Structure formats: C-alpha cells, structure tokens
Amino acid sequence: MWHGMFLFLLGLLTGFAEPRFANMRMGLAAHLEGVMNGTFLIALGAIWNHIRLSPRAKTIAFWSALFSTYANLLVTTLAAVFGTAALSPITAAGHTGQAWQETLVTVGFMTIGITVVAFSLLVLWGLRSKAPH
C-alpha cells in the first residue's frame, strides 16, 4: 500500500509539470496513470491477503505489479516529454518524436501491457474460490 500512495503522489506531482511537456495531452495521461495506478496498488494491497498463490507466484505477481505501475508512469511521462505518438494516436494530437524515441516508448508500452495482463491473470487465479487456503 505504501507504493500505491507513493505512486499516487508521483502522479499528483506529474500534474504540476503538465504545461512543460512537449505534449500536454500525454502529460495529462501521465498524471492520470500515476494517480490511477497508485489507487490500483492501494486496492491490490487491500486484497493481497486473499490471494492464494505459491510463495514464488505471489512474489512474481508482487514485483510485476510494482514494475508495471511505476513503468507505466515513467514511459507515459517520457512520451509526454518526447512528444511521441507511439501506441497513443489520440493523445499524440499531431506530435511525433524521433525514431529512437518512438521505438523506446513503443517497447515500453508493449512490455507494460504484457506484464499487466500476466500479473492480472495470476492475481485472478489466486482469487479463485477453489484456491487452497
């Protein structure tokens, strides 16, 4: 839950920087990612003791959740700073970054997306009603 509150705070602070980003719409997205992912981690922390997984699987879920939520704020903020359009045509609004920036942001978002889906499935598995206690 500490990480959730910290990420929430980072999201709030990112909001103060919105006007300084190359792409202010993506800056708003970064702000919202921090606030929403922080809230998500707080909620995940509240149900954590109800997740029934092996110690190894639970550790993987924990670190995957932290990685993906912090990385989401970081990559979205980088996209705002660079003004990239990678995987975000609506928030790009005519912006385009350099090729290496677009590639970096694309790889970042793809990695985050895969990690979020994987740990979500793991947590769902741990929350099933027939999970061993």
Using alpha carbons, select from 93, 75, 97, 67 the residue that is nearest to residue 30: 75
pLDDT value, residue 97: 76
State the pTM of this model: 0.90
Q: Please report which helix (H) or strand (E) contains residue 57, including its range.
A: helix 55-82
Using alpha carbons, select from 55, 30, 35, 50 the residue that is nearest to residue 63: 55
Residue 47: both structure tokens together: 């149900």
| Tens digit of each residue's pLDDT, the chain (133 residues) | 999 999 999 999 999 999 899 888 899 999 999 999 999 999 999 999 999 999 999 999 999 999 999 999 999 999 999 988 777 766 666 767 788 998 999 999 999 999 999 999 999 999 997 766 6
pLDDT value, residue 131: 60
